[in-house]
Amino acid sequence: MAPTTDNSPPMQHEEIDARRLRLSETIRSILDVSHLPPGSPDAEILEKKARHWSGPEAASASLGELAAEVDEMADAVSRLVTQPLLAARRINVALERLQSARSVDEVLRSAPSELAWGGDFDRVLVSRVEESSWIPVAWYAADGQSQQNQQMADLLRDNRIGLASGMVEAEALRRKAPALVRSTATRSRSVAPFGEVGGSAEYVVAPIMTGDRVFGLMHVDTDASGRSIVDSDVTGVGAFASGLGLILERLALVDKLRAQRERIQKALAAANDEVDELTRAPVTLSVPVARGSEPPEVLDSPARIEDRFTAREREVFALLIGGSTNAQIADRLTVSETTVKSHVKHILRKMRATNRAQAIAQYLASGERR
């Protein structure tokens, strides 16, 4: 840009200088928050413009030249500003796709590739947290065939990494917020696999929360593409981890409801069987016995009834009169249902009863008489 002769008053020169410096600062701030990789043409153009408008060669610029520069940058700036919004939208789409998963394992297997697509990341790791360690569960790398990524995958497989005090991961879990490791070369508490084996210059770690409990961790980097991780990346990873925690929490609740429904259905089926058995049993009417006369030898005392049985039959009979089904007795005594049916058959024969209901009625009646 050629210097121009400007006869504007001193006050106007001060205003031009102030606007010129603000333009340079604005360009640099846009460059800092953009997703442009270092050395890209757009990044070099922005850097060059920022240096120009902060340097002495632009001191003689006019308001018209400043206005022309702003117009020239308008399209480029609008593209850069919308990139974080587009990334946030893609992350929402990735979470929506995960909601269709039917199990926790399916969600964990799909989460790394979905986050890599939604946030434009090169590598993503999902781990579980157990006590004072985190255990890698699912790993995705855009270039999974490279030797470096294969070594990384081998290192993470079946590994358990301790959460030492001062480690970035431990700090993220304590604060329950995502954290950015700016340089693995200078951070002594960064995770060795990412810097030494994976070659990550920087990475983001975010906790996965289910309710108030820490479920796991997410790690992401952009090493392959070479672009710098910016604040909007950290925000996006944190949002994805929060959404993932809600999905996992919903699946856990669905599993609990499903198990509870199965228990209720089994209890209702057992109660229905008992009602059917009682309604099929013959009705017997008791005859009053005169005082002093001996009762007919049909009923015995509870103790004498139990004396007829073996030790195992007494266990079965105690559960039988308590209302347990054959399946429940088998589960309680850790035997097969066929074995329980055999014991019940012997008990009924010894009591001269035709079914369970009659056996229970005899036992209760003998207890009243005693």
The model's pLDDT over 108-163, given as tens digits with 9 standing for 90+, comes to 999 999 999 988 898 999 999 988 888 899 989 888 778 877 878 887 887 888 88
The residues that bridge with 221 in the sheet, in sequence order, are 123
Positive or negative torsion for Cα 29, 32, 34, 37: positive
Which of 83, 111, 138 terminates a domain? The answer is 83
Same domain, 35 and 112: no
pLDDT beyond 90 at 199: no
Residue 218 falls within a domain, yes or no? yes
Tokens of 153: 């995958």
| Gap between the Cα atoms of 235 and 322, Å rounded | 60
Quick: pLDDT tens for 333-361.
Answer: 888 888 899 988 988 888 888 888 888 88
Residue 26 belongs to a domain: yes
CATH of the domain at 218: 3.30.450.40
Kindly state whether residue 276 falls inside one of the protein's structural domains. Answer: no
Average pLDDT over residues 224-237: 84
Helical H segments across the chain, by residue range: 10-33, 41-54, 63-98, 104-119, 147-156, 168-175, 192, 231-280, 302-307, 311-321, 326-333, 337-351, 356-369
Residue 16 lies in a domain: yes
> Full-prediction pTM beyond 0.75?
no
Q: Evaluate whether residue 365 is within a structural domain.
A: yes
- Whether 164 maps to a domain, the answer reads yes
Whether 244 maps to a domain, the answer reads yes
Same domain as 301, residue 250: no
Domain range for residue 209?
99-254
CB–CB of 111/125 below 8 Å? no
Task: For residues 155 and 81, give the distance between their C-alpha atoms in angstroms, rounded to a whole number.
Answer: 38
Res 176 pLDDT > 80: yes
Give the count of beta carbons closer than 10 Å to the beta carbon of residue 170.
16
Residue 224 CB burial class (10 angstroms; 0-12, 13-18, ≥19): middle
Q: pLDDT confidence of 217, banded at 50, 70, 90? A: very high
325: domain CATH number is 1.10.10.10
pLDDT class of 46 with cuts at 50, 70, 90: confident
User: Within this chain, do residues 303 and 352 fall inside the same structural domain, yes or no?
Assistant: yes
Number of domains in the chain: 3
Report, as an integer, the average pLDDT of 311-328. Answer: 87
pLDDT-based confidence at residue 208 (cuts at 50, 70, 90) = very high
**Within 13 Å and on the Cβ side, how many CA atoms surround 182?**
2
- Verify that 237 and 363 share a domain, yes or no: no
Question: Domain check: are 361 and 246 in the same one?
Answer: no
Look at the block and give the residue holding tokens 């088998």: 330
Does 168 lie in the same domain as 239? yes
Task: Let me know if residue 92 belongs to a domain.
Answer: no
- 291, exposed or middle or buried, with CB in 10 Å at 0-12, 13-18, 19+? exposed
Same domain flag for 107 and 46: no
167 and 208 part of one domain: yes
Same domain for 127 and 73: no
Q: What is the pLDDT of residue 42?
A: 67
* For residues 158-177, average pLDDT: 85
At 300, give phi and psi (nearest 5°).
-120, 170
| 17-21, 37-41, 237-241: which is most confident | 237-241
Per DSSP, 81 falls in state H
Final residue of a domain: which of 55, 83, 111? Answer: 83
Question: 209 and 179 in one domain?
Answer: yes
161 and 210 share a domain? yes
Residues 191 and 222 in one domain: yes
